[in-house]
Amino acid sequence: MNDHKSSELMIWDPVLRLLHWVAVLMFVLNYWIFETGSFWHKAAGYTLFLVVIVRLLWGRLGPHNARFSIRALDKTHWQAHFHHLRHRQIAPDSGHNPFGYVWLYLSLLLFSALTTTGFLLEEIDYFFGSDALETLHGRLADSLFVLACVHVVAVLGLQWWGRIALIKPMITGKRKR
């Protein structure tokens, strides 16, 4: 066996990485580039909705590190994560920590609400031009932006503090042992 291949662990599968980066791209495009209500804004919103649906399915059917876990939020997992943080050693085979699971669930909830409010505004005549729904849609987008910023800072901070590669595995899928 090749030493290079045996020295790396598969952390994130291709489907999970694709969903992550498509969600990032669609959100960035809709938040900063595409005009609200335009064809491209709607297309990106529908794509985000599809990403959420596929991610929900993949969280049940995908490989171990792609699966959802409520158990990962129990007291023992939090204690273990804080222990690893205190010692600045995160296990190389780890995927989401308890904070990551909270972020994942919250982001899926916010993306679901964002795409739903966008759909209602654009496709359901009753809600067209609703100031309350437009305000909610905007606040959901702003909340997701703040959540994404916290995520990026947390990834960079944990990568440095925990002495573990977090960005490379989200690109290549692999991390050194």
Q: Which residues contact 145 (CB under 8 A, 6 or more apart)?
A: 27, 31
Bridge partners (DSSP) of residue 83 are: none
Low-confidence ranges of the chain (pLDDT < 50): 1-2
Candidates 138, 78, 82, 126; CA nearest to 102 is 78
Bridge partners (DSSP) of residue 175 are: 9
Q: What is the pLDDT of residue 4?
A: 55
Domains of the chain: 3-67+100-176 (1.20.950)
CA atoms within 13 A on the CB side of 132: 2
Q: pLDDT per residue over 59-98, tens digit each?
A: 999 999 899 988 889 999 999 999 999 999 998 888 899 9
Q: What is the pLDDT of residue 1?
A: 45
Buried b (16+ CB within 10 A) or exposed e, 43-77: ebbebbbebbebbeebbeebeebbebbeebeeeee
Question: How far apart are alpha carbons 93 and 81 in whole angstroms?
Answer: 13
